[in-house]
Structures are given as structure tokens and as C-alpha cells.
Structure 1
Amino acid sequence: MNTVRQLMLAALAVSLAGCAELPFFGDRDKPAAAHRRASNVSAKRAPAALREGIGLYNEGDFNGAIRRLQSDEIANAPLATRLTALKYTAFSYCVTSRPAQCRQAFDKALRLDPSFDLAPGEYGHPLWGPVFARAKKDRERGG
């Protein structure tokens, strides 16, 4: 009986150790990585409006994020900052069921930088992935 108990405890320990490798499911909708140029925006050097806007996005306050990311501070910021803000603005519009505004934010980013792109993990998002793919395809066609 003692051997059975030891085997069960060993199996339980192995099972629990495997769970430690699983990602947290709550982070699923967060962007995986920033655009290559946007990633050059250091969190410490980014304008307060960008840091605050991304913080609001990460907290689920998408309307607050949109307002903050469209501030004058960001409109007058370097290109990488504006691209990052537009990306999070688009994401916020998409997750709040406003695909037209989501598309407009992606279109604006692509006008500013035709090479603007999402990270591989961001492409697969069911809400903004298809919207961005259409915007990029239309941009490449000259539309």
C-alpha cells in the first residue's frame, strides 16, 4: 500500500510540475511584441501619454487608452512613438467592437510607415489580425 501511495504522490508531483510551464491565460489578448520600430521606444524614455495609454490598455480600460493615446503629446512625438500609439489605439478599437475605427488607426500607421507590421503573435488575434491583414493588403495594392 505504501508503494501505491508513493507512486500516486510521484505522479501528482510530475503533473503539477508540468502545469508550471503553461502560460497564464489572462495574458492572451495582450500584444505579444511591439513593431520593430515601435520596440525602439524605451519604456523609460517613452512619453508619459504613451506609457499611461498602454497601461490603461493593459488594465482593460480601452476607451481611456484611446483617449490617452490620441493626445497632443503623442501627435508631436517621434515616429516610433506614434506608431506604437496607433497600434494600441487600433487594438483598443477592435476589442470594443469598432472595426471601422480599428481599420482607420491601422491605415494611418501604414501611411506614416508603409513597412509597419505586427509581431507574429499579434497577427493571429481574431479581432485585429484580419483587420490589419486587409489594411496591409489594400495598402500594398495602392488603396
Structure 2
Amino acid sequence: MLGACTQTTSQQRYSNEQIQHSRTALQSVRESYDSGNYGDVITRVARDDRLHEAPSDIRVEALKLQAFSLCMRNYAAMCKERFQTILSLQPDFDLSDGERGHPQWGPVFEQAKQVQ
């Protein structure tokens, strides 16, 4: 009976409103990324509190898009730092096969994993 009353950590920590705001912010980041506005992605993820305070799955996706954008703008060291941040939040994180094979961020991600 007590099990029915317990909530997961995510449910306790985030309201539905916070989660929705985080998803909205992430969607804006995705749209900027898909449009090739990498500078906007980098800035949005860095400055948007809705993403900083989001559940880890949303934060991880935002940070991944920021890492990709940093690599696309030739900021390999910062890209690697973002991947390391992702790996600290989610140690089992991995890129898809298509993402892993990308010539700009694939090798940077592998370097980040080795540091982990």
C-alpha cells in the first residue's frame, strides 16, 4: 500500500508545468539546430534556465545539441566539455550509429568517453 503513495524522484522534483516549459525550450533549441543556427543553439542552452532546471533527459538532449553546435562552429574543446557534462549526468549515454560516425563530433565524443 505504501508503494502506491510513493513518487519517483522526477515526479517529486518537477511539476508538470516545469516539464512542459522545459520541453518548449528544448523544441526551440531543436528548431534552431535544424535550421543551422548553431550560435543560437549554443546561446539558448547556455542561458535558458528552463533547460538548466529540466529533468536530466531534457538537459542531456539540449546539451547534446549544444555539443554538436560547438563542434560545427569548430570549438572542439568546448564540445568535448559538453560531452563530458552529459556523461557525468548520464554515464551510459551514447550516440546513435549515425551520430557517432559524424566527422566533427564523433571523434570528440570518443575522446570525452575515454576521459570518463
TM-score normalised by the chain length of structure 2: 0.78
What is the CA deviation profile of residues 5-52 of structure 1, one whole-angstrom value per residue up to 9, with x for unaligned ones? xxxxxxxxxxxxxxxxxxxxxxxxxxxxxxxxxxxxxxx886211100
In 2, distance between residues paired with 1:125 and 1:45?
31
Other-structure match for 1:94: 71
Mapped partners of 1:130, 1:55: distance in 2: 25
Q: Once superposed, which parts of structure 1, at least 4 consecutive aligned residues long, lie more than 6 Å away?
A: none
Q: What amino acid is the match of 1:52?
A: S
> Of the two, which has the highest radius of gyration?
1
SS at match of 1:73: helix
In the alignment, structure 2 segments of 5+ residues that lack a partner are 1-19
Which residue identity is paired with 1:54?
R
Which residue, out of 25, 42, 51, partners 2:27? 51
Which is helix-richer, 1 or 2? 2
Q: Letter of the aligned partner of 1:66 in structure 2? A: I
2:59 corresponds to which residue? 82
Structure 1: how far apart are the matches of 2:78 and 2:67?
7
Out of 92, 95, 102, the position equivalent to 1:115 is: 92
106, 110, 124: which one aligns with 2:101 = 124
Stretches of structure 1 lacking an aligned partner (at least 5 in a row): 1-43
Cα deviation, residue 67, structure 1 = 1.4
1:62 is aligned to: 38
Compute the RMSD of aligned alpha carbons.
1.4
Distance (Å, rounded) in 2 between the aligned partners of 1:109 and 1:97 = 19
Identity, % of aligned pairs?
40
